[in-house]
Amino acid sequence: MSLQLEQAAGGNLVLGNAALTGLSGAASTYSTNAFDYAIDGKAYSKSAVSGGDTPEADAVSGAALTLVANQAAVHVFVVNAAGTVGVLRGKVVAYSAGAKEVCPLPSIPDGWVAFAYAVVKAGATVSGTWTFGSSNWNATGIVVDTPVNLFSLPDSAVYTA
């Protein structure tokens, strides 16, 4: 008989490279490779996405993810056990072109795991409101930094490039 005095806690992590791409051009879609991930230590698989509809609202609150001129925020792509892709946004911060701004990461709620993020910056030439998931990635004044693929969420804020 074996007594296990300690058990490893189930982790939330990505077990392969999602390779998030497509956040550019006259589109509002995204693409990924197929990848495996774990939520609470349970293994799941996500099939590849090619030109998928980018979520337009926060995965938890349902609020629209919008930016206006001189704002920036990190947008974290997440997936749940059902394979549903969502997006969570960190705090919106003031932004001016060329500045290196701190973009706080959002909290990832239970049942979701982060697989990539991208910082979106709205420069001074943005007219009106830009909406994540419905406005084009190349809208005037919008700059999307190169996506960063994740194993797990970083333990600190990220910066605008």
Report which residue type is found at 91.
K
Please determine, for residue 5, whether its predicted confidence score (pLDDT) is greater than 60: no
pLDDT digits (tens, 9 = 90+) for 84-115: 999 999 999 999 988 888 999 999 999 999 99
Residues 122-136, mean pLDDT to the nearest whole number: 96
pLDDT in the model for residue 1: 42
Q: In angstroms, rounded to a whole number, what is the distance separating the alpha carbons of residues 156 and 149?
A: 15
- Contact by Cβ (8 Å): 117, 148: yes
Q: In angstroms, rounded to a whole number, what is the distance separating the alpha carbons of residues 110 and 39?
A: 8
Each domain of the chain, given as residue ranges in start order, spans: 13-152
pLDDT digits (tens, 9 = 90+) for 34-90: 999 999 999 999 999 999 999 999 999 999 999 999 999 999 999 999 999 999 999
Mean pLDDT, rounded, of the chain: 92
pLDDT in the model for residue 9: 60
Reported confidence tier of residue 161, pLDDT bands at 50, 70, 90: confident
- Give CA 157 to chain center in angstroms: 13
Q: In angstroms, rounded to a whole number, what is the distance separating the alpha carbons of residues 58 and 152?
A: 19
For residue 148, give the H/E element and its range. Answer: strand 148-149
pLDDT digits (tens, 9 = 90+) for 135-158: 999 999 999 999 999 998 888 889
Please determine, for residue 28, whether its predicted confidence score (pLDDT) is greater than 80: yes
Token couple for 77? 């792509």
